[in-house]
């Protein structure tokens, strides 16, 4: 009985969606409304105005910069909420799980992670710095660096893993992305007259590139620290 | 030819999604979820969206799968019903 | 309608994935399985929006030497990048709540949690 109700609900949800989807303009037609109104402006004057050849990075950082500032604030808030849920207010009665019977990590995993770790680190820095010319960007490189820290945490001993991330400026690095956006926004206010506005003239092109690179580095470092902190908090007492 | 590749990729995606829903072992479901994320990344590469594909590969197969595995390690591995 | 659906095959596949995710959220009792279904729904919506921006015979929107028009629309891709980050944030918070529920109540099945209210 309940099964039949669920199937009925799914059919009732999917039929109007399929009807609506079949009446959309044909897939891939160059005269569709999304391709006609504002996308040509971004594609034509993207590289000159925004200073980035990758038009998607130009849209994220320059034309829609406020959305990216909101996004880095969201992921920072998620990290703060994870720490608040798991660490604070717990009475310390967490059951002692497998700490006595922990399975040692196999030799193959340890060897491969040790061999690959420097290449992954260099690749993540390359992806962050080349974000405005090739596909990539701040958050992609930051996630790769965060995944590298997770892999190293799995194979190193406790104190070595804790020494991977810097202890003193930890809070500052976790909030690196929103702070960088705010600083670059104030710089744009001072130089170009609007919050988070990059200079558009040909003479100040070098300044636009510097500001874009600073923002990308901030997003990369902040993203890596946030992901490493979330993993470390969720997998604590390991 | 590219149309055939499209259809095969979409069928594999739907198959992976069904497998994630139906598997009782949560560890197996997390691994199949990682392969679902990889297939989604391939679909976006085929559609000409390299930035989105790189983000999905790093985030979906890298971070979300690891978080699921950590949660399964801290709670249970089998679904009860 | 079937002919129009065959032409818009990407959109129909996104609707199918959305319904599979919805089925997982409604039917399954385990909390982790519910969040896997939520993730499937989210990626189905992302696939739909990225498929809206595709132009036939277009190139990826990265300007370099020798790359010609027509280009694929860069706007949906920028929106979906933010969407993916928000999806991973909500997944991280949801899974940490599941860990906390396991520590407090000893079970992560939704009907047992409802009984123990």
Dist. CA B10–CA A192, nearest whole Å: 47
Which has the minimum average pLDDT: A14-18, A220-224, C76-80, C109-113?
C109-113
| Residue A101 pLDDT level (bands cut at 50, 70, 90) | very low
Terminal-to-terminal C-alpha distance of chain B: 43
In a domain, A145, yes or no: yes
Which residue of chain B comes nearest to C24, CA vs CA?
Answer: B21
Q: Which of A56, A146, A230 sits opposite B51 (nearest CB)?
A: A56
In a domain, A134, yes or no: yes
pLDDT in tens, B16-42: 999 999 999 999 999 999 999 999 999
The residue segments making up the domain with residue C51 are: 2-57+68-115
Q: Which chains touch A (3 or more CB pairs under 8 A)?
A: B, C
In a domain, A180, yes or no: yes
- Rounded to a whole number of angstroms, the distance from the CA of C45 to the nearest CA of chain A is 12
In a domain, A198, yes or no: yes
In a domain, A5, yes or no: no
On the question of pLDDT at A126 being above 90, the answer is: yes
| A147 with B54: Cβ contact below 8 A | no
Q: Is the ipTM value over 0.90, yes or no?
A: yes
What is the pTM (predicted TM-score) of this model? 0.91
Mean pLDDT computed over A183-194: 86
Dist. CA B17–CA B45, nearest whole Å: 19
Q: What is the count of structural domains for chain A?
A: 1
Q: What is the count of structural domains for chain C?
A: 1
Identify the residue whose tokens are 């594999």: B12
Asked if residues C51 and C14 have their Cβ atoms less than 8 Å apart, the reply is yes
* CB contacts, 8 Å: C1 with chain A: 18-19, 22
In a domain, A68, yes or no: yes
In a domain, C74, yes or no: yes
In a domain, A179, yes or no: yes
Which has the minimum average pLDDT: A37-51, A71-85, C40-54?
A37-51
Asked if the C-beta of A231 comes within 8 angstroms of chain B's C-beta atoms, the answer is: yes
Dist. CA C1–CA C4, nearest whole Å: 5
In a domain, A159, yes or no: yes
pLDDT of residue A157: 74
Which residue of chain A comes nearest to B70, CA vs CA?
Answer: A235
Residue B49 backbone zone (phi > 0: left; psi -120 to 50: alpha; other: beta)? beta
Residues of chain C with pLDDT under 50: none
Q: Mean pLDDT, chain A, as a whole number?
A: 84
The residue segments making up the domain with residue A144 are: 44-84+106-233
Q: What DSSP designation does A26 have?
A: P
Sign of CA dihedral A20, A26, A32, A34: positive
Query: Can you say how many angstroms the Cα of residue A125 is from the centroid of all Cα atoms in its chain?
Result: 14
| A139 with C7: Cβ contact below 8 A | no
E-assigned strands of A63-166? none
Q: In CATH, what number is assigned to the domain containing residue C21?
A: 1.10.287.3510
Which residues of chain B have a Cβ shorter than 8 Å from any chain A Cβ? 50-51, 53-55, 58-59, 62-63, 66-67, 70-71, 73-74
Nearest to B39 by CA among B69, B22, B68, B19: B19
Dist. CA C113–CA A27, nearest whole Å: 46
In a domain, C62, yes or no: no
pLDDT of residue C104: 86
On the question of pLDDT at A22 being above 70, the answer is: yes
Q: What DSSP designation does A103 have?
A: P
């Amino acid at each position: 009985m309940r099964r039949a109700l669920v199937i009925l609900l799914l059919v009732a949800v999917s039929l109007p969606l399929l009807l609506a989807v079949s009446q959309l303009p044909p897939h891939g037609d160059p005269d569709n409304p999304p391709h006609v109104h504002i996308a040509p402006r971004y594609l034509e004057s993207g590289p000159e105005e925004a200073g980035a050849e990758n038009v998607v990075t130009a849209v994220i950082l320059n034309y829609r910069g406020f959305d990216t500032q909101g996004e880095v604030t969201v992921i920072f808030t998620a990290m703060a909420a994870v720490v608040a849920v798991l660490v604070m207010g717990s009475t310390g009665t967490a059951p002692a799980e497998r700490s006595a019977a922990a399975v040692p990590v196999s030799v193959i995993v340890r060897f491969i992670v040790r061999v690959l770790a420097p290449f992954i680190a260099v690749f993540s820095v390359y992806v962050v710095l080349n974000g405005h010319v090739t596909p990539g960007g701040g958050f992609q490189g930051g996630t790769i660096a965060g995944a590298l820290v997770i892999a190293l945490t799995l194979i190193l001993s406790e104190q070595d893993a804790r020494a991977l991330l810097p202890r003193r400026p930890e809070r500052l690095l976790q909030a690196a992305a929103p702070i960088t956006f705010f600083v670059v926004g104030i710089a744009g206010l001072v130089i170009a007259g609007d919050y988070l506005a990059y200079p558009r003239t040909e003479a100040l092109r070098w300044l636009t590139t510097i500001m874009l690179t600073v923002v990308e580095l901030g997003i990369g470092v902040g993203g890596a620290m946030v992901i490493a902190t979330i993993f470390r908090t969720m997998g604590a007492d390991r | 030819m590219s149309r055939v590749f499209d259809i095969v990729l979409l069928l594999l995606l739907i198959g992976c999604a069904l497998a994630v829903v139906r598997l009782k072992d949560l560890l197996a479901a997390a691994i199949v979820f990682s392969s679902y994320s990889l297939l989604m990344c391939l679909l976006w590469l085929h559609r000409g969206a390299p930035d989105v594909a790189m983000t999905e590969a790093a985030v979906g197969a890298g971070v979300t799968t690891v978080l699921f595995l950590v949660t399964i390690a801290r709670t249970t591995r089998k679904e009860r019903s | 309608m079937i002919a129009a659906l065959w032409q818009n095959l990407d959109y129909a596949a996104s609707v199918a994935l959305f319904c599979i995710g919805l089925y997982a959220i409604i039917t399954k009792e385990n909390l982790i399985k519910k969040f896997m279904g939520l993730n499937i729904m989210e990626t189905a919506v992302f696939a739909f929006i990225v498929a809206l921006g595709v132009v036939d015979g277009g190139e990826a929107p990265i300007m370099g030497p020798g790359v010609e028009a027509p280009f694929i629309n860069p706007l949906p891709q920028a929106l979906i990048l933010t969407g993916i980050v928000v999806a991973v944030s909500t997944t991280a918070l949801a899974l940490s709540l599941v860990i906390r529920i396991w520590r407090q109540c000893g079970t992560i099945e939704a009907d047992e949690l409802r009984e123990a209210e």
